[in-house]
Structure 1
Amino acid sequence: MNADKREEQAGVAARLAERFISNIRAKVASSSCRFAGAILAVLLGLGPVISSAEPPEGRGPGMNKPVGWAKGRILVMPRAGLPEKELAKVLGEHGGKGRKIGQSDLYIVDLPGNASEKAVAARLAHHPALKFAEIDQEVEPALIPNDPYYGSAWHLPKIGAPSAWDSSLGSGVTIAILDSGVDSTHPDLATELVPGWNFYENNSNTSDVYGHGTKVAGAAGAAGNNALGVASVAARAKIMPIRVSGSDGYATWSAISQGLIYAADRGVRVANASFLGLTDSASTRSAAQYLKNKGGLVIVSGGNTGVQQNYAATTSMIPVSATDGNDVRTSWSSYGNYIALAAPGAGIWSTTKGGGYGAVSGTSFSSPVTAGVVALMMAAKPTLSNTQIESLLYSTAVDLGTPGRDPYYGYGRVNAARAVQAAAGTTLTADTQAPAVSITSPAGGSSVTGLVGVNVAASDNVGVTRVELRVNNTTVAVDTTAPFAFTWDSAGVANGMANLTAYAFDAAGNSKASTTVSVNVANGTTTVARDTTAPQVKIVNPVTGNVSGSNVAISVNASDDSGASGITCTLYIDGVLKATGKGSTLGYSWNTRPSNVRAGAHTIWTVARDAAGNTASASVNVTVIK
């Protein structure tokens, strides 16, 4: 780089730093902004650090490693209600064995060494009992190499963070950082960390093996008011490090999905994943929706290809593009209809592995900047729902580009000042509008046998959180992820007419029943001379461990040598009867929101009784996180 160019960049850095410091000085003049004063003290000491900061580095266009997929495994999601033994049969036809991810309905399938992951996933993707199947693709971090940096925290005044800090610093909110780990010894991060997990090596070591995660964590929630290093967006938020990548920075869809579900099961309300193309994964979308159903929001990077991408549009995540100091999309930031928001992503001053500081660029950092704003909003008014937070985040954004939502900036560039003010001043209004719901298949009057696919259309003014399928007044399955699709074991009822009804629920508890569809069950009969064999019963969901959110989906599977139609299942929670039903499956949605459901240990217990009076039972112990 020639001397003139260096001088030009130094001039830009100086002007931006002067503008930022001037802004903070104005804030300090107000007696209500002691925190901004402390940040000023930190920033005034940044001069010598800037000059010695390591240059931005990382992955992006031009890296040599091709993106591949994990060998020996794929990802699948069965339709709600599919008996576990039937899922095992489906997977077993390909030599696969499923491993359930947390308390979700998503499975990692381990394949034999001679199997083709692509071929098996392609075949299972069309199986009528599965919602989807896909390879476990690798994804790369969204960091830009060789990008000039400004050398000051210009992005904080740009998004109005100093004004937002008057009302909120993110206290009481935890941000899960799904990345390469986080440097737990960094002085600006050590006090902010809570325990996480390493899904790359399946252990508790969440140390940063690549450097990317420490930078992302610092942009979202580096400690503030400590006379050290840098200022972040949400300085009092906690950081949960979840390692999902190897030492090359690459992660897999399965690791990211596991990380999101892990965070959701522990009550985390904000998660950030700065990797490319995450909305293209059905597994990651399902895992993100799982967290959203439990009251959280997932923020992801929009990508750094610099061209239009046809990544899947989704409401389960918030993909963010990157802007520069002039509120213009950076040349390397991807765009497309999937983009929901924009945020500063060029020259973001943050923490680096090893205790240092540096300026970094990429949608990897516009994403945690946005996650930090979400944390500020949640802390400003904890009673707001995640969907209200999301709506306010969009409505308060600075509209850039074409009026309204567009492929470059989404709803606009995030504005922390407006967003926090709107969140703090929002008056909660009750949602009284019930969802709309209908069974689209099977058709009324049709004859069915064996495993029956049941499809349900459901919509709501805010969002459908779950759909329950009831057969002859027994809830046989609960689905919490759109598209709502079930597999009903028709052997669980006697031959003849059976009545199917779907019930849709929203987050406010409003519900609506579909028109009942009657079908003719025409299965064969099973004759046993003398039945002395007890049925088999298992609680498929939840498994022993943590549960969170206002509703926990419980799924019971039962079978008997005399046929499933003679089985009666009863469900108890802490010894109190909650549900009774006929057939091979029983579903129940446990509302953990009331004050009489305490945080801590609970026992879920089920009993199955066959027509001859033989019984069997099963139980799991769970810990409710509130």
Structure 2
Amino acid sequence: MNINHKAPATGSREPASGIIQSSTRNSQHISKPWYPLWSGILAVLLGLGPVISSAEPPEGRGPGMNKPLGWAKGRILVMPRAGLPEKELAKVLGEHGGKGRKIGQSDLYIVDLPGNASEKAVAARLAHHPALKFAEIDQEVEPALIPNDPYYGSAWHLPKIGAPSAWDSSLGSGVTIAILDSGVDPNHPDLSPQLVPGWNFYENNSNTSDVYGHGTKVAGSAAAMANNAQGVAGVAALAKIMPVRVSGSTGYATWSAISQGLIYAADRGVRVANASFLGLTDSASTRSAAQYMKDKGGLVIVSGGNTGVLQNYAVTTSMVAVAATDANDFRASWSSYGNYISLAAPGAGIWTTTMGGGYGAASGTSFSSPVTAGVVALMMAAKPTLSNTQIESLLFSTAVDLGTAGRDPYYGYGRVDAARAVQAAASAVVAGDTQAPAVSITSPAGGSSVTGLVGVNVAASDNVGVTRVELRVNNTTVAVDTTAPFAFTWDSAGVANGMANLTAYAFDAAGNSKASTTVSVNVANGTTTVARDTTAPQVKIVNPVTGNVSGSNVPISVNASDDSGASGITYALYIDGVLKATGKGSTLGYNWNIRNVAAGAHTVQVVAKDAAGNSASSSVSVTVVK
């Protein structure tokens, strides 16, 4: 396939300062609409172009920035166990003066702390709280680029990964890539036609213009426009770009901003996200947000890092961490390595878009990551019916194995191959999964006595993956957990004293499910006596909140309390006026399958009644995004 391309001028170099020089005027301009991409890289292929090198990074950490890494002052991040009543979470946080802010439709919270609080001390204490899955400081992270790479690049990476062959089958049309970065230049001719609205989480507004330059380079690597007789071609030249600004003018971002960005994109139906920052797999919050997107059918691609040494970053399946290779398929000398690396991709001397409408070469795993994201977009466009897990599996299996046979810490599964990956995706059969998950309740133990808030731990596994676990108490679903490890906080005050039956149900993406063996426990709470009850219960829909929902499933969480005690509360849950579920107790959970629900506005309503017949209701309006 022919894609028009403006080739860079042979022999030009970046200035010694490390600022990429705009080549808008001094690059060779090709205006003929039929001019093929291959002509733009012919000099390189014939050995006439500049040498591509994996230049050593400057002294210091990663991209050589002198600014020490810190954390956001006055806030931390937490995730409660599924089913923890909102009022109980408020109590837990209130002990430290904290107030939680829920992030989108997820179960992740940003906690604002008083000015005299120590973020590290509070996070350390809450990390051990039995009602929380985790708590962590809101760490700063830096962009994964080599800003003073002195080598001039061209589009060598496109034929290296077989992009021209892949373009015969797919250009990424119909797929949106979220670029979580410093923003994107909205006026760049190779990017502006591709942009869709995003959000600025650094300043909490809709201005997603680039304030640092990194995001514009990353966006061009993934999806710069093609066939416009100018500039460069991104890997997925017809994919859309959603700019999600998560950093300031220094390029540094925080875990909370990146987590918000991932959840924002997932709630709007985006299936590919790129975040080119160092060490993201080490954040429990970012892993949770990435898994949130994965549970909704997306994939998150992140940088492997530029320290040039072994990194013991957390290994995770929620993100695809990418190392950098050069034109000779060697690991770039500055590319980090470790067991967390999933793949490798070209990242040395990548010719891409720059702020102000220019073009230039850049190096770093910041660019191997969006190159991979572009390949994912090509695969998704080639066969939209493939699941994200099938896309991921084919991406890994078609990679060119480098280094030690099989997955290794330097290249992961190998260097990404767009031609093979797109061909595999296009010809893949959408396999049916008929194997149900395995599930068991590991605590509390059967026959034990419980009071108050009870921790319930569930072990669940599947041949493909567990998408959610529902905890049912006496046949009422009290909570739904979509993120491993599957852990609940059950408010035992929601049932009468005596024996209560706990059962966990695990589900996979294909809808296969299995119930655990029922565990019976003895509830021994105190009693509440009210002479004459005329007060209605307090009821609230905790999730979803008003806004967009996407994917296949939306967990619904309801909390209620009453002066006569929660054990007398009964629920009726309605969606668009149709009764969907009933239950009893202080919490109610329900999984709303929106796969066949029409796009647009829908209303979720719950009616709660106490034992005396007093009733109250709560509702939220959501927009289903397809």
Q: Is the 8 A contact 2:40 2:155 kept in 1?
A: no
The equivalences for 1:177-256 within 5 A come to 177-256=179-258
Partner in structure 2 of residue 615 of structure 1: 615
Partner in structure 2 of residue 435 of structure 1: 437
Counterpart among 385, 406, 409 of residue 407 in structure 1: 409
Shift of 1:284: 0.2
Partner in structure 2 of residue 598 of structure 1: 598
Shift of 1:177: 0.1
Q: Distance in 1 between matches of 2:259 and 2:103?
A: 8
- Once the two structures are superposed, residues 125-183 of structure 1 have per-residue CA deviations (whole angstroms, 9 ceiling, x without a partner) of 00000000000000000001322324211000110000000000000000000000000
Partner in structure 2 of residue 81 of structure 1: 83
Q: Which amino acid is the alignment partner of residue 306 of structure 2?
A: N
Q: Is the 8 A contact 2:603 2:619 kept in 1?
A: yes
Partner in structure 1 of residue 471 of structure 2: 469
Q: Distance in 2 between matches of 1:264 and 1:129?
A: 26
Partner in structure 1 of residue 398 of structure 2: 396
Q: Distance in 2 between matches of 1:393 and 1:399?
A: 12
- Structure 2 unpaired stretches of 5+: 1-9, 15-31
Shift of 1:38: 3.8
- Once the two structures are superposed, residues 227-280 of structure 1 have per-residue CA deviations (whole angstroms, 9 ceiling, x without a partner) of 010111000000000000000000000000000000000000000000000000
- Once the two structures are superposed, residues 513-555 of structure 1 have per-residue CA deviations (whole angstroms, 9 ceiling, x without a partner) of 0000000000000000010110000000000000001000000
Q: Distance in 2 between matches of 1:430 and 1:300?
A: 29
Matched, 1:39 2:37: yes
Q: Distance in 1 between matches of 2:13 and 2:67?
A: 34
Shift of 1:45: 11
Q: Distance in 2 between matches of 1:509 and 1:447?
A: 34
Q: Distance in 2 between matches of 1:396 and 1:182?
A: 31
- Once the two structures are superposed, residues 18-77 of structure 1 have per-residue CA deviations (whole angstroms, 9 ceiling, x without a partner) of xxxxxxxxxxxxxxxx9995434666899xxx99xxxx9998353210000000000000
Q: Distance in 1 between matches of 2:542 and 2:602?
A: 16
Q: Is the 8 A contact 2:12 2:152 kept in 1?
A: no
Q: Which amino acid is the alignment partner of residue 598 of structure 2?
A: R
Shift of 1:571: 0.4
The equivalences for 1:445-594 within 5 A come to 445-594=447-596
Structure 1 residues 459 and 581: CA distance shift in structure 2, 3 A:
same
Q: Is the 8 A contact 1:43 1:230 kept in 2?
A: no
Structure 1 residues 393 and 35: CA distance shift in structure 2, 3 A:
farther
Q: Is the 8 A contact 1:41 1:227 kept in 2?
A: no
Q: Distance in 2 between matches of 1:490 and 1:36?
A: 70
3-state SS of paired residue (1:523): coil
Partner in structure 2 of residue 31 of structure 1: none
Matched, 1:315 2:317: yes
Q: Which amino acid is the alignment partner of residue 37 of structure 2?
A: I
Q: Is the 8 A contact 1:170 1:377 kept in 2?
A: yes
- Once the two structures are superposed, residues 196-254 of structure 1 have per-residue CA deviations (whole angstroms, 9 ceiling, x without a partner) of 00000000000000000000000000000110101110000000000000000000000
Shift of 1:421: 0.2
Q: Is the 8 A contact 2:76 2:110 kept in 1?
A: yes
Q: Distance in 1 between matches of 2:34 and 2:343?
A: 26
Q: Is the 8 A contact 1:467 1:505 kept in 2?
A: yes
Q: Which amino acid is the alignment partner of residue 600 of structure 1?
A: G
Q: Is the 8 A contact 1:39 1:225 kept in 2?
A: no
Q: Which amino acid is the alignment partner of residue 362 of structure 1?
A: G
Q: TM-score, normalised by structure 1?
A: 0.92
Q: Which moved more, 1:512-521 or 1:145-154?
A: 145-154
Structure 1 residues 12 and 261: CA distance shift in structure 2, 3 A:
closer
Q: Distance in 1 between matches of 2:424 and 2:446?
A: 48
What percent of counterpart residues are identical?
87
Q: Which amino acid is the alignment partner of residue 135 of structure 1?
A: I
3-state SS of paired residue (1:413): coil
Structure 1 residues 146 and 163: CA distance shift in structure 2, 3 A:
same
Q: Is the 8 A contact 2:439 2:505 kept in 1?
A: yes
Counterpart among 417, 420, 427 of residue 418 in structure 1: 420
Partner in structure 2 of residue 26 of structure 1: none
Q: Distance in 2 between matches of 1:346 and 1:149?
A: 9
Shift of 1:573: 0.1
Partner in structure 1 of residue 279 of structure 2: 277
Q: Is the 8 A contact 1:503 1:511 kept in 2?
A: yes
Q: Which moved more, 1:456-465 or 1:58-67?
A: 58-67
- Once the two structures are superposed, residues 276-300 of structure 1 have per-residue CA deviations (whole angstroms, 9 ceiling, x without a partner) of 0000000000000000000000000
Partner in structure 2 of residue 3 of structure 1: none
Partner in structure 2 of residue 343 of structure 1: 345
Structure 1 residues 129 and 314: CA distance shift in structure 2, 3 A:
same
Structure 1 residues 501 and 231: CA distance shift in structure 2, 3 A:
same
Partner in structure 2 of residue 23 of structure 1: none
Q: Which amino acid is the alignment partner of residue 82 of structure 1?
A: L
Q: Distance in 1 between matches of 2:249 and 2:13?
A: 34
Q: Which amino acid is the alignment partner of residue 39 of structure 1?
A: L
Q: Distance in 1 between matches of 2:526 and 2:466?
A: 37
Partner in structure 2 of residue 374 of structure 1: 376
Q: Is the 8 A contact 2:63 2:144 kept in 1?
A: no
Q: Is the 8 A contact 2:63 2:143 kept in 1?
A: no
Partner in structure 2 of residue 30 of structure 1: none
Structure 1 residues 532 and 255: CA distance shift in structure 2, 3 A:
same
- Once the two structures are superposed, residues 378-415 of structure 1 have per-residue CA deviations (whole angstroms, 9 ceiling, x without a partner) of 00000000000000000000000000000000000000
- Once the two structures are superposed, residues 393-448 of structure 1 have per-residue CA deviations (whole angstroms, 9 ceiling, x without a partner) of 00000000000000000000000000000000001121000001000000000000
Partner in structure 2 of residue 25 of structure 1: none
Structure 1 residues 456 and 37: CA distance shift in structure 2, 3 A:
farther
3-state SS of paired residue (1:149): coil
Q: Which amino acid is the alignment partner of residue 415 of structure 1?
A: D
Partner in structure 2 of residue 152 of structure 1: 154
Q: Distance in 1 between matches of 2:586 and 2:565?
A: 9
Partner in structure 2 of residue 261 of structure 1: 263
The equivalences for 1:52-71 within 5 A come to 60-71=62-73
- Once the two structures are superposed, residues 324-352 of structure 1 have per-residue CA deviations (whole angstroms, 9 ceiling, x without a partner) of 01101011000000000000000000000
Structure 1 residues 96 and 250: CA distance shift in structure 2, 3 A:
same
Partner in structure 2 of residue 122 of structure 1: 124
- Once the two structures are superposed, residues 296-318 of structure 1 have per-residue CA deviations (whole angstroms, 9 ceiling, x without a partner) of 00000000000000000000000
Q: Which amino acid is the alignment partner of residue 442 of structure 1?
A: P
Q: Distance in 2 between matches of 1:274 and 1:421?
A: 27
Q: Distance in 1 between matches of 2:122 and 2:174?
A: 44
Shift of 1:366: 0.2
Q: Distance in 2 between matches of 1:538 and 1:255?
A: 27
Q: Which amino acid is the alignment partner of residue 66 of structure 1?
A: P
